[in-house]
Structure 1
Amino acid sequence: MTQPPPPPPNQPPQQGGFGPPQDQPPQQPGFGAPQQPGYGYPQAPGAPQTPPPPPPQQPGYGYPQAPPQGQPPQAPPTPPGYGYPGQQPNPYGQQPPNPYGQQPGYGYQQPTVPLQPQAGQPAGGRKMNAQLVIIVAAVVAIALIVGGGIWYASSGKGDDKKDPELSSAGPTGGGDDKSDTGGTSSKGEEKVPANTSSEVLFQVPEPKVDDSTVVSGSWLTDKAYVKSGVAEINGYDPDKGTKLWTIKLPGPVCEASDHTTADNRTAIVFQPKMPPKNSSAGCSQVAAIDLDAGKKLWTKTVNSGDRPIGLDNVTVSGDTVAVGSTSGGAAWDITSGKSLWAPKPTDTCYDAGYGGGEKLVAVRKCGSYDQRQLHIQTIDPKTGKVISEYKMTSGIEYASVVSTNPLVVAADVGDSAGDGSGISDFFSIDNKTGKLITRISAPGDQYAARCDGITRIEACNGLAVGNGKLYIPTEEHDGTGQYSRTNEIVAFDLATGKQTGQRADAGDGYTITPLRMDGGNVLAYKRPPYDKGGQIVTIDGGSFKETKLLENPATESVRDAESSMSPDYSEILYSQGHLYMSGVYADKSSSSSSDKEYLALAFGTSG
């Protein structure tokens, strides 16, 4: 089996998590599985599809490390760009086959390596020298050659009790009090709690697996916090973490839609069985899930002849579930499972996938490999009829749907981003006419949002769209404090393509990432320095004034667990004083690590 080149030897391992085993886990605070083959390659028709992996997270992302006494701090190594290894696709758009039907997905992180703090260095701020980095990279490379796949082992059973080691006692995150204005944020539903200091509500332990397994998908309703586990989906009490229900699946989840219907229904793609070693079960099954009732409503496949095809995209728009791939797609009613329509492939065109939400948008690929043209089509969710179409410049191979209303698409034009983020430009498009409104240049060395449009149409994070604006974070840069790093959120006008002049500063030692819109406000997560807890803030869409909504404990065990959930590669949900952080990969635990690893963490305020 052809393997892509291993990652460069400059990536430190991630810190371990913190917390008690609980019934079922989603993502990987246990971060750390070797990368699988095929990452960064377009998938071949009919090949099983799964979310491609982001690069491993460096332990200090957003965490300025405390320097050893008498020594200046070492600059953290630069991680490889999102999309590494970055090889050019072959003329057939094929990806080297993955024997397990999955590749490390969005949320992938490096194996945990226990690091001892240097003399005079706070235990919370860990460093690693260049030699150790090389050793870790070599271990990962060997694992790539030897393992090269994903398989399943029974997950461990835990209880619903809070981990006593995850104490919330001690100082809270502190941070810049200038952002804590109090009162109620305007034009949004999120209210400022009387006490913004949070405590650990519960944690879901990482399941025991033999190798990396996809567990992408997390949702929040009034009744449950829902998270994918290993070949199952679990609903938890939002406050207590008690398991409410479990939907068993025959194989691992491959893709999960972020979008839900008004009555909390969504859709997933999963494998029909647990893939044994050196084989693939394929990501061919589509299911609709009722998140409140904890029920699987129906299961479907898209067949080519008498065989189901592999799918790499699933989304929800209105009451329609749409799936796509290089080999075909389909759409069904989310309640009944009734077939609604299917894309019409031709000799030169096919629907690569769909973006959902308020509208349904198809990314249709036309032409030969060396003369590719992408058609961005707004379509009727019920009939599949094309409402409007924008034809992108020939030569742009991949595009991601950032928002369907307003319609915003991201692309790496001419591979010019340079950082593997998948974004060099954003395109603001009129849904009704299909005309380009404006093109926004966002050089990869200046802005930190990321998209993976190689095989997944909806795979952008670290940005928000609303108020006729695009909100994206800048790359990290030196702060005003000694050894500090920081960044900002800036706004672009979707009508003119120009910056509005609005800027929300993270504060020294913090890095800020947009999560979503809350009415006219921007909801953002502030990743803290080594000695603070993370924060959720709301940014007024007009004044850009920041208001703190939640601040996590600054105790070492909590900080270590929170730091394993990078906003770049984790699922972060916030609502009404409740913060849920989870991973999208369950990884094999390191026998040499004593750090506890979690797939989901829940925090809540008391006011």
Structure 2
Amino acid sequence: MTQPPPPPPPNQPPQGGFGAPQDPPPGGFGAPQDPPPGGFGAPQSPPPGGFGSPTPPPPAQGPGYGYPQAAPPASPQPSYGYPQTPPLAGQPGPGYGYPGQQQPPYGYPQQQPPYAQPPEGGGGGRKFNSSVVIIVAAVVAVALIVGGGVWYANSSGADGTDDSKNNSSDTTGGTGGKDDTGDDTSGGTGLEKAPADPSAKVLFQVPAPEVKDDQIDSVVGSWLTDSVYAKSGVNEVVGYDPDTGSEKWTLPLSGQTCAGSREVTEDGIAAVVTEGAKRNSEGDHEDCTQVTAFEVSTGKKLWTKTAAISGRKAAFEEVTISGTTVAVGGGYDGGAAFEVKSGKALWQPKVDTCTDVGYAGGEQLVAVRKCGDYGSETYEVQLLDPKSGSVKWTYKLPSGIDNAKVISTKPVVFGVDSADITASGASDVFSLDDNGKLRVKITLEDGKYDHDCGVGEVYACKAIVVGNDKLYVPTRQHDGTGEYGLTNEIISFSLATGKTTGDKIDAGDGNEIFPFRMDGGNVLAYKDGSTDVGPQVISVDGESLKQTTMLETPAGDSVLSAISGMVPKSSELLFTGGRLFMGKDLISKPYSADEKEYTALGFGTQ
């Protein structure tokens, strides 16, 4: 299923980033509370080094393309080619419906820190040198008063929600599982129940370990079950009591985490990809070669495996679970898969004319595959048998397309970015039927919608979800009808016709809203707050569009600033059973000694 890696490409920045520095907000974070039992432990000094394994940049964008040849639509589709302008940190977004710079979430600009990419080859350390300019964006530091002490929370992470039975990280738009589905259901079928009182309190915050100067450590990955909130730390995963924050277990890892499955199996198993060794004081790092499966409830490691290609260990950037299969991909080494409980290898990277770029899991296992020489690849989307890796069907994309980003695996819905720079979201979305034939192509007008899909990642789209045979996507913020500033909406497109359905989920004047997962036929969305009303998780009936508040954080400037500092649209956003958690994927040293950084923040209804 794979091919030999192409020559090493130029450097490419990883996803994510940190917000610009801000002064701490006045006042405290909600009413003072007693510290949670168990505590969080003293900050730990992480071993230094680089992050992640090499990932090639997308090749130069080819000419515009028309209909995919695998299954031409019944009627002509509009041509591609809406140019998109990459966002500039700190620059406000354009007015509604007009192309321009992307508006930073909640007014907190972000910047992606480039990393030195190692060339193709074995594991081994890679050093940053003086020719590499590492741009470390500012870390937002917001004071939180908890109990008698001052605690802090700050910026970004990767979005995440629920898949399979339990909640897990990196799931804004995924399908899979019993309550996160793309099936043709309608409202009123969700598993999440509205509480009698949606008012929430701060449950706990996870303090970040100490980070050395000019270094950025990876803590990607978080998972939520009924009994445990698990969050990656530096060279470890820690399980916390989701109500108190007391530590329940610690799982040591070979190195820092590079990826975490958004899924937790029905047996409570999750998976991570980690670096092959701990980083040293010189800033060297290992490639992301280790794949580990563990029990979320106990922290028990089930297995750690590697895959081989051309006599060396393959490196991976993404991990997903479908059924009993853990599939890993990313970078240029191709893909591999393991049985979730035993770690038995199901397939390995292969030297072939084609390479599995990555996989999307959940209810079905979908592969994005590229064929051909570097710079002239063609891409295709495949539905796989997760147990054997055999191909059920293949949908080929025309030449000139250098990316494919899976939004849903059942039904299979994926997007591409037809802009010159593939750094925003999906400008065109394809809906396929159960046989892999094109149902419709949806063009998302440039500058009008506000979602994001990770560069070089197959399964990392944020703020865009599939359900009820519809695609739900938020608009960019625009002027509201009242005196309270900007607002936006979530609208939907039919996956059968490609046309807007007329659904409109309003944020209300002065607010912003985005969807983060489906709950049966209901849309779960995050709505930011104000000084009078705290940020909310709402459930929207897919048929009536009635909004029900599931959780509301404390109100006030300090709360809004603290949550915005986590950048919810980019966080590992997990919600179930009246509990909301936001987690980061990268941490860096605070700008001053009196600032602290936290990797997670949790709220729970009373």
Shift of 1:58: 5.6
Residues 188 and 519, structure 1, Cα contact 8 Å, conserved in 2: yes
Shift of 1:311: 1.1
The equivalent position to 1:333 in structure 2, one of 339, 355, 367, is 339
Shift of 1:414: 4.4
2:295 maps to which residue?
290
Bigger shift: residues 524-533 or 255-264: 524-533
1:422 maps to which residue?
425
1:262 maps to which residue?
266
2:545 maps to which residue?
544
CA RMSD of aligned residues (A): 4.0
Shift of 1:424: 0.7
Whichever residue aligns with residue 396 of structure 1, its letter is: I
2:239 maps to which residue?
235
Q: Any stretches of 5+ residues in structure 2 without a counterpart?
A: 1-8, 30-34, 44-48, 60-85, 95-103, 129-134, 153-186
1:248 maps to which residue?
252
**In the superposition, relative to structure 1, how do residues 421 and 76 fare at CA in structure 2: closer, same or farther (>3 Å)?**
closer
1:171 maps to which residue?
none
Shift of 1:483: 5.3
1:357 maps to which residue?
362
Counterpart-to-counterpart distance in 1, 2:519 and 2:486: 27
> TM-score, length-normalised on structure 2?
0.73
2:605 maps to which residue?
605
Counterpart-to-counterpart distance in 1, 2:205 and 2:297: 20
**In the superposition, relative to structure 1, how do residues 267 and 385 fare at CA in structure 2: closer, same or farther (>3 Å)?**
same
1:450 maps to which residue?
452
2:416 maps to which residue?
411
SS of the equivalent of 1:559 reads helix
The equivalent position to 1:380 in structure 2, one of 380, 385, 390, is 385
Whichever residue aligns with residue 335 of structure 1, its letter is: K
Residues 528 and 536, structure 2, Cα contact 8 Å, conserved in 1: yes
**In the superposition, relative to structure 1, how do residues 57 and 235 fare at CA in structure 2: closer, same or farther (>3 Å)?**
farther
Deviations 1:256-308 (A, max 9, x none): 11012111111110012222234221111001111112111100011124421
**In the superposition, relative to structure 1, how do residues 435 and 489 fare at CA in structure 2: closer, same or farther (>3 Å)?**
same
1:346 maps to which residue?
352
**In the superposition, relative to structure 1, how do residues 466 and 80 fare at CA in structure 2: closer, same or farther (>3 Å)?**
same
Counterpart-to-counterpart distance in 2, 1:565 and 1:439: 34
SS of the equivalent of 1:13 reads coil
Residues 166 and 558, structure 1, Cα contact 8 Å, conserved in 2: no
Counterpart-to-counterpart distance in 2, 1:231 and 1:57: 31
> TM-score, length-normalised on structure 1?
0.73
2:324 maps to which residue?
319
Bigger shift: residues 260-269 or 556-565: 556-565
1:273 maps to which residue?
277
Counterpart-to-counterpart distance in 2, 1:259 and 1:476: 31
Whichever residue aligns with residue 259 of structure 1, its letter is: E
Residues 505 and 545, structure 2, Cα contact 8 Å, conserved in 1: yes
SS of the equivalent of 1:293 reads coil
**In the superposition, relative to structure 1, how do residues 225 and 3 fare at CA in structure 2: closer, same or farther (>3 Å)?**
same
1:465 maps to which residue?
466
1:191 maps to which residue?
193
Alignment of 1:505-584 (within 5 A): 505-529=506-530, 532-584=533-585
Counterpart-to-counterpart distance in 2, 1:535 and 1:224: 22
Q: Any stretches of 5+ residues in structure 1 without a counterpart?
A: 27-32, 44-53, 63-74, 102-107, 116-122, 125-160, 168-184
**In the superposition, relative to structure 1, how do residues 59 and 587 fare at CA in structure 2: closer, same or farther (>3 Å)?**
farther
Counterpart-to-counterpart distance in 2, 1:163 and 1:499: 52
Counterpart-to-counterpart distance in 2, 1:24 and 1:484: 42
1:500 maps to which residue?
501
Shift of 1:201: 1.1
Alignment of 1:126-275 (within 5 A): 165=150, 186-210=188-212, 211-275=215-279
Deviations 1:242-268 (A, max 9, x none): 111010112100011101211111111
Shift of 1:186: 2.2
Shift of 1:24: 6.5
Shift of 1:192: 1.4
Residues 90 and 110, structure 2, Cα contact 8 Å, conserved in 1: no
1:175 maps to which residue?
none
The equivalent position to 1:41 in structure 2, one of 41, 57, 66, is 57
Residues 58 and 402, structure 2, Cα contact 8 Å, conserved in 1: no
The equivalent position to 1:23 in structure 2, one of 24, 40, 43, is 40
Shift of 1:39: 8.8
**In the superposition, relative to structure 1, how do residues 201 and 461 fare at CA in structure 2: closer, same or farther (>3 Å)?**
same
Deviations 1:26-80 (A, max 9, x none): 9xxxxxx99999898359xxxxxxxxxx989769999xxxxxxxxxxxx999988
Residue 463 of structure 2 is aligned to residue 436 of structure 1: no
Counterpart-to-counterpart distance in 2, 1:518 and 1:388: 28
Counterpart-to-counterpart distance in 1, 2:14 and 2:572: 26
Residues 288 and 299, structure 1, Cα contact 8 Å, conserved in 2: yes
Residues 451 and 473, structure 2, Cα contact 8 Å, conserved in 1: yes
Deviations 1:438-462 (A, max 9, x none): 11111341111110142x2111111
Counterpart-to-counterpart distance in 2, 1:362 and 1:595: 43
2:3 maps to which residue?
none
Sequence identity percentage: 44
Deviations 1:551-571 (A, max 9, x none): 111244433321212122211
Deviations 1:479-522 (A, max 9, x none): 22335111110111111111110000011111111111011000
Residues 507 and 527, structure 2, Cα contact 8 Å, conserved in 1: yes
**In the superposition, relative to structure 1, how do residues 2 and 363 fare at CA in structure 2: closer, same or farther (>3 Å)?**
closer
Residues 61 and 566, structure 1, Cα contact 8 Å, conserved in 2: no
Counterpart-to-counterpart distance in 2, 1:214 and 1:602: 20
The equivalent position to 1:13 in structure 2, one of 5, 21, 28, is 21
1:110 maps to which residue?
137
Residues 539 and 550, structure 2, Cα contact 8 Å, conserved in 1: yes
SS of the equivalent of 2:570 reads coil
Counterpart-to-counterpart distance in 1, 2:441 and 2:42: 41
1:487 maps to which residue?
488
SS of the equivalent of 1:351 reads strand
Counterpart-to-counterpart distance in 2, 1:59 and 1:264: 43
Counterpart-to-counterpart distance in 2, 1:23 and 1:584: 18
SS of the equivalent of 2:239 reads strand
**In the superposition, relative to structure 1, how do residues 379 and 98 fare at CA in structure 2: closer, same or farther (>3 Å)?**
same
**In the superposition, relative to structure 1, how do residues 448 and 34 fare at CA in structure 2: closer, same or farther (>3 Å)?**
farther
Counterpart-to-counterpart distance in 1, 2:493 and 2:105: 30
Whichever residue aligns with residue 203 of structure 2, its letter is: L
Alignment of 1:34-73 (within 5 A): 41-42=57-58
SS of the equivalent of 2:561 reads helix
**In the superposition, relative to structure 1, how do residues 226 and 11 fare at CA in structure 2: closer, same or farther (>3 Å)?**
closer
Counterpart-to-counterpart distance in 2, 1:445 and 1:6: 23
**In the superposition, relative to structure 1, how do residues 219 and 60 fare at CA in structure 2: closer, same or farther (>3 Å)?**
farther
**In the superposition, relative to structure 1, how do residues 15 and 547 fare at CA in structure 2: closer, same or farther (>3 Å)?**
farther
Whichever residue aligns with residue 23 of structure 1, its letter is: F
Deviations 1:390-413 (A, max 9, x none): 001211101111111010111102
Counterpart-to-counterpart distance in 2, 1:241 and 1:464: 30
Deviations 1:352-400 (A, max 9, x none): 1111110001101012344321110000000110001100121110111
Counterpart-to-counterpart distance in 2, 1:279 and 1:34: 6
Deviations 1:300-338 (A, max 9, x none): 011124421211121110010111242132111110111
Bigger shift: residues 435-444 or 502-511: 435-444
**In the superposition, relative to structure 1, how do residues 114 and 450 fare at CA in structure 2: closer, same or farther (>3 Å)?**
closer
Counterpart-to-counterpart distance in 2, 1:4 and 1:416: 12
